[in-house]
Amino acid sequence: MPRPVTVAFDDQIFVAQPRGGVSKTFVEIARLLPEFDVQPIFLSRSTRNEHLAESGFVPAAPPRGRIAARAAWVGWRLIGHPREQAARLPRTDVLHHTFTHPSYLGPVAAPRVVSIYDFMPERFPELFPLGNPHFAKRRFAMRSDAILTNSQATTDDLARFYGAELLDRTTVAHLGVSDAFLSAPSAPMDLPAKYLLFVGVRRGYKEFSRFLAAAAPLLDEDASLSLVIVGGGELSDDERAELAGHGIGHRAVHLRPADSEMRTVYARASAFVFPSLYEGFGLPTIESLAAGTPVVLADAGCSREVGGPLAHLFTPGDAESMRAALRQALTEPAQRRAAEEGPAWAGRFTWRETARKHAEVYRHLVADAAGRR
Shared domain check, 310 and 166: no
- Report helix angle 21-32 to 283-290, nearest 10: 60
Shared domain check, 97 and 213: no
What is the C-alpha separation between 6 and 24, in angstroms, rounded? 20
Shared domain check, 264 and 242: yes
Helix or strand run (H / E) with residue 274: strand 271-274
Q: What DSSP string describes 212-237?
A: HHHHHHHHHH-TT-EEEEESSSSPPH
Per-residue pLDDT of 355-371, as tens digits, reads 999 999 999 999 998 87
More confident residue, 272 or 43: 272
Burial of residue 47 (CB within 10 Å: 0-12, 13-18, 19+) is: buried
276 pLDDT tier (thresholds 50, 70, 90): very high
Per-residue pLDDT of 156-182, as tens digits, reads 999 999 999 999 999 999 999 988 788
> What CATH number is attached to the domain comprising 237?
3.40.50.2000
Number of domains in the chain: 2
**Sign for the pseudo-dihedral over CA of 255, 260, 265, 271:** positive
Residue type present at position 249: G
8 A C-beta contact, residue 284 and residue 176:
no
373 pLDDT tier (thresholds 50, 70, 90): low
87 pLDDT tier (thresholds 50, 70, 90): low
**What's the pTM?**
0.89
Shared domain check, 306 and 206: yes
Q: For residue 86, is pLDDT > 60?
A: no
Shared domain check, 263 and 238: yes
Q: What is the domain extent for residue 142?
A: 5-176+351-372
Shared domain check, 367 and 317: no
Residue type present at position 228: V
Shared domain check, 363 and 305: no
Per-residue CA distances from 56 to 11, 35, 47 (Å): 15, 18, 10
Per-residue pLDDT of 45-58, as tens digits, reads 889 999 999 999 99
Shared domain check, 368 and 235: no
Shared domain check, 212 and 170: no
What is the C-alpha separation between 240 and 246, in angstroms, rounded? 10
Per-residue pLDDT of 112-142, as tens digits, reads 999 999 999 999 999 888 888 899 999 999 9
Shared domain check, 163 and 19: yes
Shared domain check, 108 and 169: yes
Shared domain check, 232 and 339: yes
- Report helix angle 332-346 to 283-290, nearest 10: 110
What is the C-alpha separation between 136 and 86, in angstroms, rounded? 15
